[in-house]
Structure 1
Amino acid sequence: MKLLWDFDGTLFDTYPVYTDVLYEVLAGASPKREILSRLKVSFTHAVRHYGLSEAQIRRIFELEEALHPAQTPPFPDVEHVLKFAEVNVIMTHKPRKEVMAILQHYGLAEYFKEIVAGDDGYPKKPDPASYLYLHGKHQLDLAIGDREIDILPAKAIGMQTCLFQNPTPVADFYLTHYKDFFKKITGGNL
């Protein structure tokens, strides 16, 4: 199986700490549950919703860059799926330096054949350009993301899609835990 992964909220449980960052920048003016729901649509959606200034956006990026990788752990059992897959690639809006720091911290960098990061010059999702590139090079079977914006580019180019911990009715498959996915694709237990 050849898999295209989103990073934040799909491979790594980053939303709790990102919610805390935005809560701090907003000086507690919005409940964390609302912030999380806005971030789960997209960062751009949250920025627009809260009417964030350029200074606030820069502050968010500064705070995110200062995070220690231990604050953004991988989801349970995702490594088993990564080990099993024939090819794993990532498409993320996160800067490459941050992606690599987290992957290396958890010893997961070795599982990825290629990464398209936010500073690689591709248009942002849902534009399919980065997905076209990765799919053309690796003949991918499935795109896994946690938000609709993560799977729309895959659908646009005819790939199968999977939403993780999100029941929005747009994907071909749905997952809540990687342990269940591993059992399904291997027919065995962890």
Structure 2
Amino acid sequence: MNILWDFDGTLFDTYPIYTNSFKQILGNIPEKVIYQQLKISYTHAVNYFQLTEEQTKRIKEIENEVTPEDIRPFPDVEKVLQFANLNVIMTHNTRKEVENILTHYQWGHYFKEIVTIDNGFPRKPHPASYKYLHQKYDLDLIIGDRELDILAGKKLNIKTCLFQNNQAGADYYLSHYKDFFQLMQYIK
């Protein structure tokens, strides 16, 4: 099985860190509201809360203080990575951010290719990066935590799975990676 992974909120539980950085700037906005907006997209949250350029810059500064030790992988996701024949990542993060975290956990060897914002592809849900990875690796499944992570896969007729998100549109849904192997009986 060849799997394309999203990074934030799919492989690693980064949303608590992003929520905290927004909370430090927004103050009295409940964390649940911030989290909900971030789960749509980072850009959506910036626009939703009408953040100024200065506020956005400060949020990035706060996030830059986070170390790889602060970012945890989801339980049992490594078992799925080990199971797959091939794993690739498509993320809007920078290559440096992704590689720092993967190096910390010694996970770099799990991924045949990592496509980041640095590669110059249009942002998700544009299908260009997915098409590139699919043509190169014949993907069987896309796993992401937001609708925008799976839309391109739907256009390319690749099976999709939403993680910790029950929004309509995915072929499969997972709340915990320990359930992945039960899901396998339905895939392909």
Q: Tell me if both proteins adopt one fold, taking TM over 0.5 as the criterion.
A: yes
Ranges in structure 1 where 5+ consecutive residues have no aligned partner = none
Ranges in structure 2 where 5+ consecutive residues have no aligned partner = none
Q: How many residues align?
A: 185
- Structure-2-length-normalised TM-score: 0.95
Q: Which residue of 1 aligns with 2:177?
A: 178
Deviation at 1:18, TM superposition (A): 0.8
- How does 1:21-170 map onto structure 2 within 5 Å? 21-26=21-26, 28-170=27-169
Q: How large is the RMSD of aligned CA atoms in angstroms?
A: 1.1
Letter in 1 for 2:15: Y
Letter in 2 for 1:82: L
Letter in 2 for 1:23: K
Letter in 2 for 1:44: T
- Structure 1 residue ranges (4+ consecutive) displaced by more than 6 angstroms after TM superposition: none
Structure 2: distance between partners of 1:184 and 1:43: 29
Give 1 or 2: higher helix fraction: 2
Q: Which residue of 2 aligns with 1:2?
A: 2
Classify the secondary structure of the residue corresponding to 1:34: helix
Structure 2: distance between partners of 1:117 and 1:58: 21
- Structure-1-length-normalised TM-score: 0.94
Deviation at 1:64, TM superposition (A): 1.6
Structure 2: distance between partners of 1:33 and 1:21: 13
Structure 1: distance between partners of 2:181 and 2:74: 13
Classify the secondary structure of the residue corresponding to 2:11: coil
Retained in 2: the 8 A contact 1:80–1:182? no
